[in-house]
Amino acid sequence: MAYYESKPVAGRHFLQIPGPTNVPDRVLRAMDNPTMDHRGPDFGRFGKQLLEKIRAVFKTEGPVVIYPASGTGAWEAALANTLSPGDRVLMCETGWFAHLWREMAGRLGLEAQFVETDWRRGADAAGIEAALREDKAHAIKAVAVVHNETSTGATSRIDEVRRAIDAAGHPALLLVDTISSLGSIDYRHDEWGVDVTVAGSQKGLMLPPGLSFNAVSQKALRAAEAATLPRSFWDWRPMLKANETGYFPYTPATNLLYGLDAATDMLLEEGLENVFARHDRFAEATRRAVRHWGLEIQCEEPRHYSSSLTAVRVPEGHSADGLRRTILERFNMSLGNGLGRLGDRVFRIGHLGDFGPLSLVGTLGGVEMGLAAAGVPHKPGGVQAAMAYLNGNA
């Protein structure tokens, strides 16, 4: 079967969207192992070791629940396990994915209160603190924040959000989406006092889509005992009970778990701090290329620049989707499209996961050639500016 109907171009396809990301050969080979009996003794040993090991990636001593689902499922699990119908959730509109999480909250019967932004920066910690201070009756039961907004390339400062909640003296839970940041950007579930961390397999964890995660605090576990939103598949309690012995209450995605085992080893062998530094370096090189081209970075606040991706605005009168189409047809590279209000206004360069310096240079070369081919005004030489930075000459 032909999986790609695009114009054939020699060479390997460059998948440079902000996720799913390229899957390393080591992970692919792990997934290629025969499926084992998920009720047998070998799986119990494997599962218990994996569930213990994945905690290091979240930087938590608490449990991590793994679902056979996309990150959207983990969003729902975070809400359904901790809240009751009519509860108010304070959310920050940092971009399209924050908007979608808000929509989900409404469909579940929750009242979502938005702290608005212009989609050009991360969460407004001061605005969150002000809203919590006004909530004298503590009607707000949770604060939900997207750590790295994939639609805009803006990363929220979760440590500042935690301090804002504490400064307001408010008991709300803190729920954080790390779907496009875990394994790419520094994140500390325990240290930052996060109650539920949401994650997915297909970005910094370097896996195909199909696994999602909730890292859970003791405060969240207590909230789950009183929460009354309907939950069955998403219920933490049977999962945690079965996980004590390495098993799952229903059939797990066995071969994806093999891949997760290999991916976790890769991250821990490199060292998480080294992983984060690598992503920081490639992100800065990308931004230097964009500035040299004379294009505008969607995120306006340097403190909130993302190390997972860079969203780039095209000049007025030009089409980001047209540019992406030209790059795909001419150079066999996929870039992320604009979402929501940014449709056809931005293209997104993913630089996360299994990604090295030559991958970055090739990606930026494809973008620069595409800008010329599509007739988008720019100053040539952005790739050289990025290489100078990578070589330590900038």
Distance of CA 141 to the CA centre of its chain: 24
Is the per-residue pLDDT at 65 higher than 90? yes
User: Model pTM?
Assistant: 0.97
Could you tell me the maximum CA-CA distance found in the chain, to the nearest angstrom?
A: 63
- 108 close to 79: Cβ distance less than 8 angstroms: yes
- 78 close to 138: Cβ distance less than 8 angstroms: no
The SS3 of residue 276 is: helix
What is the rounded CA–CA span in Å between residue 167 and residue 8?
57
Is the per-residue pLDDT at 4 higher than 70? no
Domains by residue range for the chain, with CATH: 14-22+271-390 (3.90.1150.10), 25-268 (3.40.640.10)
Element (H, E) at 113: strand 111-116
Is the per-residue pLDDT at 17 higher than 70? yes
3 pLDDT band (50/70/90 cuts)?
low
The average pLDDT across 14-34 equals: 97
150 pLDDT band (50/70/90 cuts)?
very high
Is 348 annotated in a binding site? The answer is: yes
Is the per-residue pLDDT at 148 higher than 60? yes
What is the rounded CA–CA span in Å between residue 260 and residue 237?
23
Is the per-residue pLDDT at 299 higher than 70? yes
Residues in CB range of 113: below 8 A, 6 or more apart = 88, 89, 90, 91, 131, 140
What is the rounded CA–CA span in Å between residue 262 and residue 25?
10
The average pLDDT across 341-347 equals: 98
The SS3 of residue 176 is: strand
Q: Return mean pLDDT, the chain.
A: 97
Looking at residue 10, its pLDDT comes to 85
Tokens standing for 23?
């899957």
Residue with tokens 């460059």: 14
Is the per-residue pLDDT at 394 higher than 60? no
9 pLDDT band (50/70/90 cuts)?
confident
Q: Pick the closest to residue 345 from 298, 289, 291 (CA basis).
A: 298
Task: Tell which phi-psi region holds residue 109, choosing left (phi > 0), alpha (psi between -120 and 50) or beta.
Answer: left
Is the per-residue pLDDT at 1 higher than 80? no
Give the pLDDT confidence of 232-278 residue by residue, as tens digits: 999 999 999 999 999 999 999 999 999 999 999 999 999 999 999 99
Lowest mean pLDDT among 4-8, 71-75, 117-121, 195-199: 4-8
Tell me which of 5 and 334 has the higher pLDDT. 334
Give the pLDDT confidence of 91-140 residue by residue, as tens digits: 999 999 999 999 999 999 999 999 989 999 999 999 999 999 999 999 99
Residue with tokens 């047209």: 322
347 pLDDT band (50/70/90 cuts)?
very high
Strands 212-216 and 296-297: unpaired
The percent of residues in the chain predicted with pLDDT above 90, rounded, is: 96
State the number of CA atoms in the 13 A half-sphere of 86 facing the CB: 2
Q: Pick the closest to residue 220 from 197, 241, 202 (CA basis).
A: 197
What is the rounded CA–CA span in Å between residue 125 and residue 380?
38
Residues in CB range of 255: below 8 A, 6 or more apart = 31, 32, 33, 35
What is the rounded CA–CA span in Å between residue 47 and residue 261?
9
Is the per-residue pLDDT at 336 higher than 60? yes
* 305 DSSP assignment: B
6 pLDDT band (50/70/90 cuts)?
low
Is the per-residue pLDDT at 153 higher than 70? yes
Give me the helices (H) in the chain, please.
25-31, 41-58, 71-82, 96-107, 125-134, 158-167, 218-226, 236-243, 254-270, 272-293, 320-331, 357-374, 382-390
Give the pLDDT confidence of 159-216 residue by residue, as tens digits: 999 999 999 999 999 999 999 999 999 999 999 999 999 999 999 999 999 999 999 9
- What sign results for the dihedral spanned by CA atoms 204, 205, 207, 210? negative
What is the rounded CA–CA span in Å between residue 389 and residue 387?
5
Looking at residue 8, its pLDDT comes to 67
